[in-house]
Amino acid sequence: MVHVVSETGGRKGKDYCILYNPQWAHLPHDLGKASLLQLRDWTASVLCSPPDLPAKGFSNQIPLVARGNCTFYEKVRLAQGGGARGLLIVSKETLVPPGGNKTQYDEIGIPVALLSHKDMLDIFKSFGRAVRVALYAPGEPMLDYNMVIIFVMAVGTVALGGYWAGSRDVRKRCMKHKRDDGPEKQEDEAVDVTPVMICVFVVMCCSMLVLLYYFYDQLVYVIIGIFCLSSSTGLYSCLSPLVQRLPLGRCRVPNNSLPYFHKRPRVSMLLLALLCLAVSVVWGVFRNEDQWAWILQDALGVAFCLYMLKTIRLPTFKACTLLLLVLFVYDVFFVFVTPFLTKSGNSIMVEVATGPSDSATHEKLPMVLKVPRLNASPLALCDRPFSLLGFGDILVPAYGIGLLVTFMALALMQRGQPALLYLVPCTLVTSCALALWRRELGMFWTGSGFAKDVPQSPWAPPSADDPQPQKDSDTSLPRPPPGEELAKCPPPPEQPPEVSVPEETGAGAPPQEPVSPVGCTPEPTSLVGASA
């Protein structure tokens, strides 16, 4: 960091990022121990030869020079010979650590660092030409408090999404008898993931990641548009069950022949759709406002993840294992292997997620949860002012212990981590262990944990469509498949199940028991099944 203050007093000092090599000379970790020296604007010179030195040298100053074509060693050797106490080199290109060899490092005793051209202009605009600067290198804390916020959001999203999906699945199985002929369906249909879909999905992910790496400035706006549409849909899906339960706003659109509107949706649902779309548009317009736009992005992201967790289902543990293992290899390859394949030596995954440093648009991909750093380290100004967690790390596995291991690896290695490297083993191992403990691994692997056609109660009367006579009362109950029990379904609170009462065949006809809904059998007292 370079701390800048005006020599004439006035406004408070400000920190700017510099990139330095500690092998030239070490900088103090504490600003209070750093010397506050005069900054000499010598940017009209590249300081590559002795004639570039001022007549009186740089006595107890820190010169600011242009980059030029000579080596860092030639510049810093001239600056040190001229009495400078440090050297700042202005660069319009991507900042790189100023390097040299061991002999040059031993010869030089003053620090040398690179400052971006944009920051140089801001210094002179904010403080004028008469400024003093102090160079220091603060330590970076291992963990930031924002990790707690990300952990709560991620684990909470996975838990709530899993509960929502499971409760909806149970409710649908218990209400097969109810036809939804209303103007709007209460629930969206779920999509079961197949092995073919997994292969197509992974190929698309790889292709999109590579395309973003090479054509980031063109494709980033496509991703932003997709995020606005998908997140507004997810927000609508999350809020619509709450709005439908409100006692007000139940009026519907009049009869018409317009597409979709001919179903006469409720006015309140239309207003909700407009509100969700407006929220995503507001984020799209102000997405680069770092002070508060991240809150909208996280809210829309959580809603999108909940919608996907509710809609996309992995019907078998076999499909789940295939998907996780393939994505495990995908994540590790693009984080740890691609640095050896790129010219810059940077990971394709991290480069795309954080935005390439040479991007002309300086846009960031929105498909992440982001929380700003909460510690007081000035390094938050330099690199990664936000902690990020990709949506894929939320939608694919589940979860908490693996995320804690990810944070530990991030703190120890101080570099971007492929979260699936830790999440996938934790998910698969714990799932297998729990299934083995419950003796349900076979059902879990094949997805046969639910009874598709649960038999009716033996004392229920035959329906009108069933010509078969009712069995005798002493007929034994059919036993459920191993590991499964008959579904027990309470009547839905909105509409109690109808009671079928057959017409009397005579004055002394005995009363009949009510018919249970199809697929929902009262629990017999003589059967105790293992929960599936």
Mean local confidence (pLDDT), 31-49? 90
pTM listed for this prediction: 0.68
Residue with the larger pLDDT of the pair 84 and 255: 84
- Provide the pLDDT for residue 418: 83
Give residue 465's pLDDT band: very low, low, confident or very high (50, 70, 90): very low
Mean local confidence (pLDDT), 236-253? 83
How many angstroms separate the CA atoms of 58 and 70, rounded? 20
Neighbours of 12 (CB within 10 A): 6
Which of 52, 144, 298, 393 does the annotation list as catalytic?
Answer: 393
The share of the chain scoring above pLDDT 70, in percent, equals 78
- Provide the pLDDT for residue 525: 35
Which of 30, 217, 331, 465 does the annotation list as catalytic?
Answer: 331
Give residue 230's pLDDT band: very low, low, confident or very high (50, 70, 90): very high
Mean local confidence (pLDDT), 182-210? 77
Q: Are 480 and 529 in contact (CB under 8 A)?
A: yes
Mean local confidence (pLDDT), 211-228? 92
Residue 428 has pLDDT above 50, yes or no: yes
DSSP string computed for 496-532: PPP---PPPSSTTPPPPPPPPPTT--PPPTT------
- Provide the pLDDT for residue 285: 93
- Provide the pLDDT for residue 385: 75
Picking from 170, 218, 117, 162, the residue whose alpha carbon sits closest to that of residue 487 is 170
SS3 of 375, please? coil
Query: Greatest CA span in the chain, whole angstroms?
Result: 125
- Provide the pLDDT for residue 353: 83
Q: Are 16 and 151 in contact (CB under 8 A)?
A: no
- Provide the pLDDT for residue 10: 67
Mean local confidence (pLDDT), 371-395? 77
Question: Which range, of 289-293, 302-306, 468-472, 489-493, averages the lowest pLDDT?
Answer: 468-472
Residue 327 has pLDDT above 50, yes or no: yes
SS3 of 495, please? coil
Mean local confidence (pLDDT), 201-226? 92
- Provide the pLDDT for residue 517: 41
- Provide the pLDDT for residue 414: 73
How many angstroms separate the CA atoms of 131 and 36, rounded? 10
- Provide the pLDDT for residue 222: 93
Give all domains of the chain, ordered by start, each with its CATH number.
2-135 (3.50.30.30), 146-444 (no CATH)
Picking from 456, 464, 446, the residue whose alpha carbon sits closest to that of residue 489 is 456
Picking from 126, 364, 421, the residue whose alpha carbon sits closest to that of residue 227 is 364
Mean residue pLDDT across the chain: 78
Q: Give strand ranges (E) for 67-193.
A: 87-91, 112-116, 131-135, 191-192
Residue with the larger pLDDT of the pair 135 and 411: 135
Residue 176 has pLDDT above 70, yes or no: no
Q: Are 445 and 322 in contact (CB under 8 A)?
A: no
Is 393 a catalytic site residue? yes
Write out the two tokens for 281. 């548009």
Neighbours of 267 (CB within 10 A): 13
- Provide the pLDDT for residue 179: 52
